[in-house]
Amino acid sequence: MSIDRDTVLKVANLARIRLADDRVEPMTKELSSILDWIEQLQEVDVDGVEAMASTVEVSLPMREDVLAEDQTGGGRPEEVVANAPKTEDHFFVVPKVVE
Amino acid sequence: MSKLTDLTLAGLRDGLGKKEFSAREVTDAYLERAGQAGPLNAFVRITDDIARKQAEDSDARIARGDARPLEGIPLGIKDLFCTKGVTTQAGSHILDGFTPTYESTVSQNLFDDGAVMLGKLNLDEFAMGSSNETSYFGPVVNPWRREGDEAKLTPGGSSGGSSAAVSARLCAGATATDTGGSIRQPASVTGTVGIKPTYGRCSRWGIVAFASSLDQAGPITRDVRDAAIMLKSMAGHDAKDSTSIDCPVPDYEAVLDQGVKGLKIGVPKEYRIDGMPVEIEALWQQGIEWLKDAGAEIVDVSLPMTKYALPVYYIVAPAEASSNLARYDGVKYGLRVEDDNIHEMYSKTRAAGFGAEVQRRILIGTYVLSAGYYDAYYIRAQKVRKKIFDEMMGVLNGVDLLLTPSTPSAAFGLGEKTADPISMYLNDIFTVTANLAGLPGISVPAGLDAQQLPLGLQLIGRPFDEETVFRGAKALEDAAGFTARPGEWWS
């Protein structure tokens, strides 16, 4: 077991996924077997190797600092909230967060 | 004349151009056929009205002599591509009723070239799976069956709806996406052609994100020519996607017949894995002979880092997925499970909305990114990824293409591998390296196994050199002469 029950519960809490009581044990086993299998990466010598996050070697493209007119350009509040379960005046409505 | 749905995309294009039939007739023929294929569960939504409207527009354009490259060609769209005004759910409960207010760049490119949308195709939930069994809408069934056996087989994943629909001729071609092999692997087990282009070749804008540094769109089609035609329309630079590369898209169809004479094709010895069926080994050898006969020089190459590709993938992909899927919280769209406490609302929504495989991957991703494990798992995986990339690029310095099998087995039965995640993950063993290194790879149907199921061969090329990949694929296709079709048990 490379991962224990408490760690699984902690990770599930961080990931905001409520695990039903009867799911904790199977999930612990599944994650353990996957992590044990991944463990083989420890045998690779990575000294001096740079971590690679993308295969694309380009600097981040920048656009002119003007309001775009296409779909990335803002000014479309109706569309932004169109699929939300609850909205009011172009805001997303959620349960009270601050007492 | 043969049935309209028997024509390839190129055949339809040419027939429509000569006005031998109308786009409306083609679309109606496909809609009828798709409507009769319920047992395959390939479509999650058939968009009849949109299809007929688009087809009529295409007929008007053809009449005016104003046809575009894909004018009137009916396609299926994987339900990972956002389609404006048409529900897009990525195979998930958590996106219940989500109706995008925008169109993905790739689908827009296809429509701008005249394509007709027949509907949205089923997939593994958030494209996570190798068998299409994780969809909230139930599994897709492979149109192929083992000889003398009615057991339901999987069409591969995650683009299994796309591969099944193309294989069963429910559409002329389909969009697909590939994060670890999700275009090439389903193509291989359904006797279709699937290409994952170079990372950055197709825009990812409007495609529901799984693992952002790996996801890439491509087509699944009936033959190599159709793949070349469709990819040309899908590809291109997009200012809305910062990972999209601004380089010209060649006319892939124009190079198909240039052959492989004089090309060096590498055969990596590390792809001979334990337990691989002898038929796959034999087919691979056959592929080597075919390419040799066509004038290519075969070179033995070594890629010792290959064995680490899958474990790297199963750190990097879940890590990126856990981050990408954080946006599904019951606030902005889709499912919401109410609770007075906001944290409870999030946790209950995500527990109810995500299926078992997605939850498993989010938890793995959250774990490897968490403080204390980040360096040991995530950073180490990124470093091993760099070593894999360097090794791959080094080998591709000396050869034009690599030839490997596409999958370690033919199609397997529904439910056969679901109990063991790792055995499922191993399906991507031959395909995943191309994603980690961002390289183009294609699967071409090359033969049948003893149970009369299709098997594919894969060619991997240099970045942005899809042209050579297509040349090799056409040579393989010509030599293989694959004409087998699944029996039409479903209609």
| Token pair of B330 as six digits | 């019951």
Give domain status of residue A13, yes or no: yes
Q: Which CATH superfamily is domain B4-259 in?
A: Amidase signature (AS) domain (3.90.1300.10)
| Confidence band, pLDDT 50/70/90 cuts, at residue A1 | low
Give domain status of residue A91, yes or no: no
Give domain status of residue A11, yes or no: yes
| Count of A-B CB contacts under 8 Å | 162
Q: Distance between CA atoms of B314 and B112, rounded to whole angstroms?
A: 37
Question: Can you spell out the DSSP letters for chain A?
Answer: --S-HHHHHHHHHHTT-PPPHHHHHHHHHHHHHHHHHHGGGGGS--TTPPP---S---PPP---SS---STTSS--HHHHHTT-SSEETTEE-------
Query: Could you tell me the CATH number of the domain that includes residue A22?
Result: 1.10.20
| Token pair of A30 as six digits | 């599944």
Which one has a higher pLDDT value, B444 or A71?
B444
Number of domains in chain A: 1
Q: Which residues of A touch B213 (CB under 8 A)?
A: 53-55
Active-site residue, selected from the candidate residues B167, B182, B406, B409: B182
| Confidence band, pLDDT 50/70/90 cuts, at residue A67 | confident
Give domain status of residue A54, yes or no: no
pLDDT digits (tens, 9 = 90+) for B427-455: 899 999 999 999 999 999 999 999 999 99
| Token pair of B25 as six digits | 């007739």
Q: Distance between CA atoms of B153 and B185, rounded to whole angstroms?
A: 14
Give domain status of residue A82, yes or no: no
B38 by Cβ neighbours in 10 Å (0-12 / 13-18 / 19+) ranks as: exposed
Q: Distance between CA atoms of B115 and B97, rounded to whole angstroms?
A: 25
What are the DSSP E strand ranges found in B179-232? 193-196, 216-221
Is the Cβ pair A72, B383 closer than 8 Å? no
Cis bond upstream, residue A54 (ω within 30): no
Domain ranges of chain B: 4-259
Q: What is the 3-state secondary structure (H, E, C) of B257-312?
A: HHCCCCCEEEEEHHHCCCCCCHHHHHHHHHHHHHHHHCCCEEEEECCHHHHHHHHH
In three-state secondary structure terms, B358 is helix
User: Residue B243 CB: number of other CB atoms within 10 A?
Assistant: 21
CB burial of A29-50 (b: ≥16 within 10 Å; e: otherwise) equals ebbbbbbebbeebeebebeebe
Q: What is the mean pLDDT of chain A?
A: 91
Asked if the model's pLDDT at residue A88 lies above 80, the reply is: yes
Of residues B140, B130, B412, B445, the one with CA closest to residue B277: B412
Kindly give the confidence (pLDDT) of every residue in chain B, 491 residues in length, as a single tens digit, with 9 standing for 90 and above.
Answer: 469 999 999 999 999 999 999 999 999 999 999 999 999 999 999 999 999 999 999 999 999 999 999 999 999 999 999 999 999 999 999 999 999 999 999 999 999 999 999 999 999 999 999 999 999 999 999 999 999 999 999 999 999 999 999 999 999 999 999 999 999 999 999 999 999 999 999 999 999 999 999 999 999 999 999 999 999 999 999 999 999 999 999 999 999 999 999 999 999 999 998 888 899 999 999 999 999 999 999 999 999 999 999 999 999 999 999 999 999 999 999 999 999 999 999 999 999 999 999 999 999 999 999 988 999 999 999 999 999 999 999 999 999 999 999 999 999 999 988 878 888 888 899 999 999 999 999 999 999 999 999 999 999 999 999 999 999 999 999 999 999 999 999 98
Does the active-site annotation cover B78?
A: yes
Q: What are phi and psi of B477, to 5 degrees?
A: -60, -45
Q: How far is CA B132 from the centre of its chain?
A: 12
Task: Give the chain B residue nearest A8 (alpha carbons).
Answer: B363
Instruction: For residue B111, give every residue at least 6 positions away whose Cβ sits within 8 Å of its Cβ, in sequence order, or none.
Output: B54, B103, B117
Is the Cβ pair A83, B334 closer than 8 Å? yes
Is the Cβ pair A17, B351 closer than 8 Å? yes
Is the Cβ pair B239, A95 closer than 8 Å? no
Complex-level ipTM: 0.95
Q: Which residues of A touch B308 (CB under 8 A)?
A: 40-41, 44
Is the Cβ pair A12, B363 closer than 8 Å? yes
Q: Which residues of B touch A46 (CB under 8 A)?
A: 380, 383-384, 387
pLDDT of residue B2: 60
Does the active-site annotation cover B474?
A: no
Does the active-site annotation cover B158?
A: yes
Q: Which residues of B touch A35 (CB under 8 A)?
A: 364, 367
Beta bridge partners of B459: B403, B442
Give domain status of residue A70, yes or no: no
Of residues B90, B117, B115, B88, the one with CA closest to residue B102: B88
Average pLDDT over residues A29-39: 94
Q: Distance between CA atoms of B81 and B435, rounded to whole angstroms?
A: 19
Note down the domain range covering A25.
Answer: 5-41
Report field, pTM of the whole predicted structure over 0.95: yes
Give domain status of residue A59, yes or no: no
Beta bridge partners of B117: B75
| Token pair of A34 as six digits | 């996957």
Nearest to A11 among B347, B370, B381 (CB): B370
Q: Distance between CA atoms of B173 and B421, rounded to whole angstroms?
A: 30
Give domain status of residue A97, yes or no: no
Q: Distance between CA atoms of B121 and B443, rounded to whole angstroms?
A: 20
Asked if the model's pLDDT at residue A58 lies above 80, the reply is: no
pLDDT digits (tens, 9 = 90+) for B303-345: 999 999 999 999 999 999 999 999 999 999 999 999 999 999 9
